Chain A
Amino acid sequence: MPRLTARERREGYQREYAFQQRHGKPFFPHVVFHDTIVSLIVVALIMGLSVLWYVQFGAIPTDPMAERTGGLLGPAYEAKADPGVLGYHPQPDWYFFFLFELLRIFKTPQLLIVGTIIIPTIWMVLLIGWPFIDRNPDRRLSRRPIALAIGVMVPIVLLTLTFYGSKVPAEGGAASTEPGAAAFAAGACSTCHVLANAGTAGNVGPVLDEAKPDYATALALITNGQGAMPSFKATYTEDEISCLAGYVATWSAAVGTTPGPGAATAKDYPASCEKAGGLFAGTVSSASGP
């Protein structure tokens, strides 16, 4: 590509600018008029979306703590945040779906950072530094094949990631009646993890049947969280956490009713589940998420 000298570049710009000032049209009122039309359309669009959102709400719920459900454009609000809630599927707003999807693609602990930090950082550096990367002085698309290719690729990649990021995994009841299975399936765990014994197909975190965590690892992760995995200290009691950790250690990579390799490490299992009671005790065979 022809490199211009600094002087040629400057003179080219000055010629263009002088031409514009001499033969252009006044910004006011011509452009201001066009700008106003487009702005009015945009404001109308925003109001239209708000009205559509509003008319599709359900009635104000009689229970003051309940969510106000919605239609096409989503609810007015969901139920009040409660760290103790059993099952919730974390989902960001649509413009972060691409990040969510990256997180799913790079979900093993060793690779997670590629999706969460490395790719977004590279992306931001390229975005800010782009004028210094593309040194081709021509502005006609026919002479900018590389820029054109990038300009087509980036939206396609972003839209694809956004599309897949918007999918929520299917909800399934617990497949087994082992103590802890129902709680695992009904809880947030199911959104993020595959665990065949519990019948869950979450796809944010690692496949637990492959990770085969031992009891201590599972206990530490559920208690304190790590990476994208939340801490459940505020959600569950100690017994409940111990029960889940024991369950995961025992039944990940299980073959039928033969426990997996982590079974030997599980402490207090299933005793902790009985102490925790309810969903954890394993008497409820098919719990469904909220």
Chain B
Amino acid sequence: MSTLLPPPKEIAMMPVDWVEERSGAISFGKFMLFRNVPKDISWLQTLGSALITVFILQATTGIILAMYYQPTPDTAWMTIQWITNEATLGWLVRGMHKWGSSVMVVLLFLHMGRTFLFGAYKYPREMTWITGAIIFILVMGMSFTGYLLVFDERAYWATIVGVNINGTAPILGPALSYVLMVGPEIGTNTLSRFYSLHMLVLPSAIGGLIFLHMLLVVRLGVTSPPWSRMEPTEGDV
């Protein structure tokens, strides 16, 4: 009878093979992980992965905040206060979300500067740059919509000025301001709209674009530093 059973290793692999056969997920994972990068790849090229980490951190802390936060003019500030003062480690979750956003903007600038100075946007990596640039603009949108959610004095007035700035654009401007505020003034609907943009629309767009960005990076291969020479050095096989 025992001859009918496959060896244990194969049994262990069965669910993996099952998934692979039906989705190709395993070979996709191998494609992303088991590839070669230039030997002289630089530490500056780790900034992109740090951005992925911060994005995941923002998503996680954001989900926790969303469990307690209520986006109405009456309750928004109260729930923020409760999260900061009362909730167990609430200050840490809120603090990491708040400071994570600043760190993310700084990292974006550094990563952009790195790809700029390395000339990493040149043929054939134009699309990698473009997806990145759109991500950058969307992240600024995250910052803008997130700022109002605390609903304290600073948030309120800064958002009024921000929306008014939008309103100075010709033709589309006033309409855009109206759409952002859902009316002529900041109120309940403004807050829900900003909240929905901040926690549903923008993050899913950014997440999708990060995925595309990564597919491109892996498909095209990482750029070697501009100073590297294309000659096998000692120890190369």
- Residues of A in contact with B (beta carbons under 8 Å apart): 9-10, 13, 15-17, 19-28, 30-32, 34-35, 37-39, 42-43, 45-47, 49-51, 53-54, 60, 64, 67-68, 76-83, 85, 88-96, 99-100, 103, 112-113, 116-117, 124, 127-128, 130-132, 134, 137-141, 144, 147, 151, 155, 188, 204, 225, 227-231, 233-234
Contacts and interface: CB of A to CB of B under 8 A. Distances in A.
Contacts of A96: 140, 143-144, 158, 162
Contact of A46 (B43, B99, B162): B99
A105 B39 CA distance: 48
Contact of B232 (A23, A30, A31, A82): A23
B133 A228 contact: no
A151 B54 contact: no
A84 B222 CA distance: 55
B105 A95 contact: yes
Given A96-B144, A96-B162, A137-B123, A54 B36 contact: no
A93 B158 CA distance: 8
A49 B95 contact: yes
B162 A92 contact: yes
A25 B50 CA distance: 20
Contact of B50 (A42, A92, A147): A42
B208 to A, nearest CB: 17
A76 B84 contact: yes
B24 interface: no
Nearest to A150: B116
A230 B77 contact: no
Contact of A228 (B33, B92, B164): B164
A157 B226 CA distance: 26
Nearest to A48: B99
B178 interface: no
Interface in B116-142: 116-126, 129-130, 133-134, 136-137, 140
Contacts of A151: 113, 116-117
B57 A77 contact: no
A130 B129 contact: yes
B22 interface: no
Contacts of A94: 102
A78 B192 CA distance: 21
Contacts of B165: 99, 103, 116-117, 227-228
A96 B154 CA distance: 13
B185 A24 contact: no
Contacts of B80: 77
Q: Which 9 A-B pairs have the closest CB atoms?
A: A50-B95, A139-B119, A24-B36, A81-B156, A90-B157, A78-B152, A131-B126, A35-B49, A39-B53
A67 B186 CA distance: 21
8 contacts: A20-B36, A26-B36, A32-B33, A50-B95, A88-B154, A93-B158, A124-B137, A230-B160
Interface in B141-173: 143-144, 147, 150-158, 160-162, 164-165, 167-170, 173
A47 B93 CA distance: 9
